[in-house]
Amino acid sequence: MSFLQGMWFCVIGLLFAGFLLLEGFDFGVGMATRFIARDGDERTLFMRAIGPHWDGNEVWLITAGGAMFAAFPLWYASLFSGYYILLFLVLVALIIRGVSFEFASRAITDKERNVWQWANFIGSLFAPFFLGMMLTSFIQGVPMDDKGNAWVGFFGVFNWLSVVGGIAVVFFCFIHGLHFLSLKLGPGDSRRMLNTTEKLYWIAYPALVVFVILSMFMTDFYSKRPISTWLLTVVVLGATICGHVSAMKKRGGFAFASSGITLMALIAWIFNGIFPRVMIADDPAKSILIQDASGSPYSLKVMTVVLCIFLPIVLIYIIWSYFIQRKRIVSDDVSMTDVRPAVAAK
């Protein structure tokens, strides 16, 4: 395995981690529109909190898929064909969620607005669930042939670990979203979000224990790479405890950072466990290694040059966009009333 092959394996892992870090709180806020919001106006307020960011955050997933296609075409082909139905469901959920922002803002009546707010909630709930299922399913070893063709049947997708993994991703995205809302809403609402997460964290501990026990029996992570796997497991648990303590002390910034680290550490746990493989077959001899799935050295060099040029620009733009949108929004914000004139005119 060359340096560039290893580097691009890490880059793709970072792109998935960046996606969960940023889009994770978008999903969580979408879930909060039904689990936490008190009425339609508050649901609109929540959606406005992520309005400037959600589409930019989704680009991380597209970039991760594109980088996988260019750097590791065999990995891309095997994963996307093997999990075609699950990824199709993810795409449908993302589309439903994406259009909901536009149509909810243009709704004439409260009924129409409610329909699109439900669409936002459903997309925000099922997109991370299906993604979590895929991520925790393909690490268990799937039926593959010598050419890397994968056949993931019903029980390959729906099993205890993949279902718990999907629920875990949804749960931590929800907490991450509430932490984001604690930074974007007024003092009263901010405290309400942290009070809620303070209680939710008590569910996270037994869920993590169940996830670790299942992964010990259904993956080879703890036998093949025990030290780094246990280290990352401790990082996930430590970040969860930090998030819980921060919520109890009403430190929204630390709580948000902690829940973000938890989600990124989950991706690091997966990529550390599969290394040096990219696809794990039920027959170990047929697993796809990084060097086997890689594109040509020339394509990796070109991609590295492009990465060095555009990555700083993209990161600066993202930081700038969050900086200029840092202001808190409150329920009596004038921007909340832009749907009312349309109703009055009708």
Q: Does 342 have pLDDT greater than 80?
A: no
pLDDT tens, residue by residue, 239-264: 999 999 999 999 989 999 999 999 99
pLDDT tens, residue by residue, 198-245: 999 999 899 899 999 999 999 999 999 999 999 999 999 999 999 999
Spatial separation of the C-alpha atoms in residues 291 and 293, rounded to whole Å = 6
pLDDT tens, residue by residue, 305-338: 999 998 889 889 888 988 888 888 876 654 544 4
Q: Quick one: average pLDDT of 161-165? A: 92
Spatial separation of the C-alpha atoms in residues 98 and 107, rounded to whole Å = 15
Spatial separation of the C-alpha atoms in residues 83 and 14, rounded to whole Å = 21
Q: What is the pLDDT of residue 55?
A: 83
Backbone φ and ψ of 313, nearest 5°: -65, -45
- Cα–Cα distances in Å, from 144 out to 65, 82, 123, 152? 21, 9, 31, 9
Identify which of 265, 286, 262, 312 has the alpha carbon closest to the alpha carbon of residue 82. 286
Q: At what angle do helices 226-248 and 160-184 cross, to 10 degrees?
A: 40
Spatial separation of the C-alpha atoms in residues 338 and 44, rounded to whole Å = 11
User: What is the percent of the chain where pLDDT is above 70?
Assistant: 95
289 forms bridges with which residues in the sheet?
A: 277
Please, which pLDDT band fits residue 91 given cuts at 50, 70 and 90?
very high
Please, which pLDDT band fits residue 17 given cuts at 50, 70 and 90?
very high
Biggest alpha carbon distance in the chain?
68
Q: Does 341 have pLDDT greater than 80?
A: no
Identify which of 21, 23, 90, 15 has the alpha carbon closest to the alpha carbon of residue 54. 23
Q: Quick one: average pLDDT of 33-51? A: 88
Spatial separation of the C-alpha atoms in residues 77 and 83, rounded to whole Å = 10
User: What is the percent of the chain where pLDDT is above 90?
Assistant: 55
The average confidence (pLDDT) of the chain is 88
Q: What is the 3-state secondary structure (H, E, C) of the chain?
A: CCHHHHHHHHHHHHHHHHHHHHHHHHHHHHHHHHHCCCCHHHHHHHHHHHCCCHHHHHHHHHHHHHHHHHHCHHHHHHHHHHCHHHHHHHHHHHHHHHHHHHHHHHCCCHHHHHHHHHHHHHHHHHHHHHHHHHHHHCCCCECECCCCCECCCHHHHCCHHHHHHHHHHHHHHHHHHHHHHHHHCCHHHHHHHHHHHHHHHHHHHHHHHHHHHHHHHHCCHHHHCHHHHHHHHHHHHHHHHHHHHHHHCCCHHHHHHHHHHHHHHHHHHHHHHHCCEEECECCHHHCEEHHHHCCCHHHHHHHHHHHHHHHHHHHHHHHHHHHHCCCCCCCCCHHHHCCHHHHHHC
Q: Does 174 have pLDDT greater than 80?
A: yes
Q: What is the pLDDT of residue 96?
A: 93
pTM here is 0.90
More confident call, 121 vs 284: 121
Considering only 34-43, 67-76, 237-246, which range has the smallest mean pLDDT? 34-43
Q: What is the pLDDT of residue 346?
A: 39
